[in-house]
Structure 1
Amino acid sequence: MNYIKVVTTYPTGGTLLPNAFVDHYMIRANGEYIKVYIYLLRMVSEGANFSIPCLADVLELTERDVARALKYWEKESLLKISQNHGEIQSIELLPVPGHAKPVLETEDSSPASSAEESSISGAEAIPAMKTLSPSELQKKSEDERFSYLLYVCEMFIGKPLTCSDMNILLYLYEDLSMSCELIEYLVEHCVSNGKKSFRYMQTVAINWYEENITTVDEAKAHSKNFKKEYYSIMRAFGLNQNPAPIQEQYMKQWLEKDAFDLSLIIEACNRTINAINKPSFPYADTILKQWKDNHIRTVEQAKSFYQRQKSPKTFMNANASQPVHNFKQRDYDFDALEEQLLKKQFSDEIREN
């Protein structure tokens, strides 16, 4: 695993948030970016190392979210990222200036900057979300189209919108430049899938923004392609049917929250069938949880993980004069032992539930 060292040339005095950060940077950044920056301050105060997967797990974000946040703060000149062969080696937190950079500052289009950006998990900086006061939101609601959007969203949600909800809608409408029609479809799509949280809708909207989805037809096509991943998982289990709601919950967890690659999920499905000779979403979930705990993100890493367990361990006798007893070496099937462990974990989870 690639561990990243966080350093700084100025004393932090513990996890101390500079006033200039609060006054000029925090208000303009979204919550995920702020969480990452504060955690970096926590790391540097102890001189601790960390990895992107560990940070994602601690903050309950995806690795892509973390990479996006790092790129954002680098663009804001609050940190400097040092890389070697495309991997982050260290992050230096820079002194926070008294004034933030102009919002309209353009992206550096030099070849070096483009290469650096693409190397951080392909992350691109997205517009920061600003928070308006109730009186400012009242003025924004005088926009006829935005006012209609607020009304439609209230109908979908079934309750009045909070200031936080309206700020997120305004972020989609103004900063992400989404049309009212696209936002309306987004809300309808999320609510129909049992998700009424505007924070969840914001996450989906950012994903669409990164995928350059600008119309309802493109969003529907994207959703259809996403469903294809469900059916790929179902086929890996040998199931030729529509997924049940509980099965969709597992797949949403794996694909969206845990951000597992489809190939890795299918590998877990295959190992499930080999282990218990039947499809089981809870059993596959046990495998994927183990891989997540061990920061396994690719099929190659999973195979290497099991291969390391198979590697024989040899011990040198420190005293050559001691008699050596010849014991017959046992051959262990580490795959079988691994399956037994997973079955036990799976059975324990079933009993607990």
Structure 2
Amino acid sequence: MNKISLHAEGISDITIVPNTFIDQYMPSANGAYVKVYLYLLRCFNSNRPEITISSIADHLENTEKDIIRSLNYWEKLNLLQLTRNEHHEIISIHLIDLNTSQNPTVDTDMETVPDSEEEIAVTLHMPKKPNPRQTYSTEKIAQLNENDEIKWAMHIIEIYLDRPLKPMDMQLILYLYEELKFSAELIMYLFEYCVSKNKKNISYIEAVALTWAEEGIDSEEKAREATATYNDHYHAVNKAFGLNRSPGQIERQYITKWVEVFGFSDEILTEACNRTILRTGKPDFKYADKILETWFKKGAKNMEDILKLDEEFSKSNKIPEPGKVTPITKPSSNKFNQYPQRTYTAKDYAELERKLLNKGL
């Protein structure tokens, strides 16, 4: 991982958070993004002018892709400038003095909150735009309004959003239709699905759309199938662990790994979760991951394979039956025990008693 040089304007050698950031940017920003910006400020106080995406991710306990998304978010709001090399890797982060720069008003619709299954996919597989999304002219938007199919879709989307469409909504719809080649039906389902997750901001909806495009989801039917699959996996794990909440970000990454990398069914996920509860007494995703990784490395594909692994483990670690004494075959090192022991009868004991009595007379 390449090192990134860090520069700043108007920031002292102690960690000072500009009031402009607190007043204008922090309220509408995702907490993970705020953590990244504050950590960059902190780096100057620790005499570390060079950092890496990996070091930031490790310190904040997040993924590298999430860190990059956070940096892109702040760059979009002109709080920092990113310099990239020919491989599109970030090599420099320049924090801008908020007291002197002219920054746009923050729109909460720009906020992206990574807490759905689709956006986790964005985190794990960063979508690549062929080109930055262009801004369409008023004339182009007017042409869009003349399309009966899209006109109907916009009407439905207004119902989903429970408000009139904004210019940025129109720009996104046109981008989905013209660039990503989404059908009107797919666009309507995209908004329906995101709103059902209580996510109405445009950046979030665009992130889901880009993930679908990258995964080859080009119809409403495929989109419904994909979202239903993820929902089933999360529900199965939640039920096994007894969770009454949506999985957190790291937990969703585990589930995605179990399904997409290991290729395990919900039945196997449930079995691993059940064993985790029995052994740890709590819903421990890390422990369950170790169980599933072991099964994956041993080539288990279904429950029959897992039961065979259990049987092999039992044979190699067989415990003696209760009450059964295992004979000791190793000879004792005690020299007195190396001689054959004599067996005494009742007659022998009587004779011995007689001799002792005669000695006492």
TM score, norm. by length of structure 1: 0.45
The structure with more radius of gyration: 2
With normalisation by structure 2, the TM-score equals 0.44
